[in-house]
């Protein structure tokens, strides 16, 4: 889809794509900005000392961008898989049990997607902070927007993890009894790392931008 088509689809009464896909898109845009700032630093004499590193950052940013872009569709597909399971027959006790187990498995998979997005954002924010420190000063605001977009993606992914975990509480957990608690712990740890990284990046970017005006 084009951006317009995607947003038009979001604004319809279709439940997917939804917030999970948007969270992944926010992270993808952040990664794209990180790569852009790095690429705008490549080949500049003023930044000769950091050429090798900014090239690495550009490549790492591209890899993260591709991961997050794939997660946009992964999230939508995972949600649709859950909805498909609700359509399974449940006339007999055996059918009802099989249906519940299928819903639980699909919901776990739908939880893994935003969790994977969330856990990829801390290194993204580290890259945003680093390229903000060593990259092209003319693109400093872009590095700052990368941090803001990345944090939006992280928190959005965190919300989607939590709402899926809430749905799982009502389902049969016998297949993976530790999934709910373990996933919540991982999500909380990843979000804390994101918040720390975002705060540090914000301080770097805002401090450098404000110091230019104050000098």
Res. 171 pLDDT band, cuts 50 70 90:
confident
Q: Is the pLDDT of residue 130 over 80?
A: yes
What average pLDDT does the segment 124-133 reach? 95
What average pLDDT does the segment 168-194 reach? 93
Please provide the DSSP assignment of the chain as one string. --HHHHHHHHTSS---S-HHHHHHHHHHHHHHHHHHHHHTTTT-GGGGGGHHHHHHHHHHHHHHHHHHHHHHHHHHHHHHHHHHHHTS--SSHHHHHHHHHHHHHHHHHHHHHHHHHHHHHHHHHHHHHHHHHHS-GGGHHHHHHHHHHHHHHHHHHHHHHHHHHHHHTTS--SSSTTHHHHHHHHHHHHHHHHHHHHHHHHHHHHHHHHHHHH-
Q: Is the pLDDT of residue 215 over 80?
A: no
Share of the chain above pLDDT 90, in %: 83
Res. 143 pLDDT band, cuts 50 70 90:
very high
**Whole-number pLDDT of residue 172:** 82
Q: Is the pLDDT of residue 212 over 80?
A: no
Greater model confidence, 96 or 174: 96
**Whole-number pLDDT of residue 3:** 84
pTM of the model: 0.92
Q: Is the pLDDT of residue 119 over 90?
A: yes
């Amino acid at each position: 889809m084009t951006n317009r088509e995607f947003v038009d689809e979001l604004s319809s009464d279709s439940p997917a794509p939804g917030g999970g896909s948007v969270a992944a898109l926010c992270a993808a845009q952040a990664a794209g900005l990180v790569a852009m700032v790095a690429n705008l630093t490549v080949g500049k004499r003023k930044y000769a000392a950091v050429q090798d590193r900014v090239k690495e950052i550009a490549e790492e940013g591209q890899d993260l961008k591709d991961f997050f872009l794939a997660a946009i569709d992964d999230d939508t597909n995972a949600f649709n898989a859950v909805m498909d399971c609700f359509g399974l027959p449940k006339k007999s006790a055996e059918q009802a049990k099989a249906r519940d187990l299928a819903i639980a498995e699909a919901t776990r998979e739908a939880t893994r997607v935003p969790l994977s997005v969330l856990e990829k954002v801390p290194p993204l924010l580290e890259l945003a902070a680093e390229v903000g420190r060593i990259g092209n000063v003319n693109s400093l605001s872009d590095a700052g927007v990368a941090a803001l977009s990345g944090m939006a993606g992280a928190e959005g992914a965190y919300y989607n993890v939590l709402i899926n975990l809430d749905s799982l509480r009502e389902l049969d957990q016998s297949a993976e009894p530790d999934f709910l608690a373990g996933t919540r712990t991982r999500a909380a740890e990843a979000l804390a790392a994101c918040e720390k990284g975002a705060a540090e990046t914000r301080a770097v970017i805002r401090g450098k931008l404000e110091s230019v005006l104050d000098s």
